[in-house]
Amino acid sequence: MATEGEPTDLVKVVHLLVLSFGWGMQLWVSFIAGFALVKQVTRHTFGLVQSKLFPVYFYCLLGSNFVSLAGYAVYHPRELLDWHESLQMALYFVAVIMSGLNAQWFGPSATEIMLKLHEVEVEHGLGNQIGIGSQKEAYSKLREQDPKYKAYKSTFGRYHGLSSLCNLIGFICTTTNMVYTALNLATI
Q: What is the pLDDT of residues 62-76, one digit of tens each?
A: 999 999 999 999 988
Q: What is the pLDDT of residues 95-147, one digit of tens each?
A: 999 999 999 999 999 999 999 999 999 999 998 888 777 788 889 999 999 99
Say whether pTM exceeds 0.75.
yes
Which residues partner with 42 through β-bridges? 130
Q: For residue 103, give every residue at least 6 positions away whose Cβ sits within 8 Å of its Cβ, in sequence order, or none.
A: 55, 58, 59, 61, 62
Amino acid at 170: G
Calculate the CA dihedral of residues 117, 120, 122, 127 and round it to 10 degrees. Answer: -40
Please give the mean pLDDT across all residues of the chain. 92
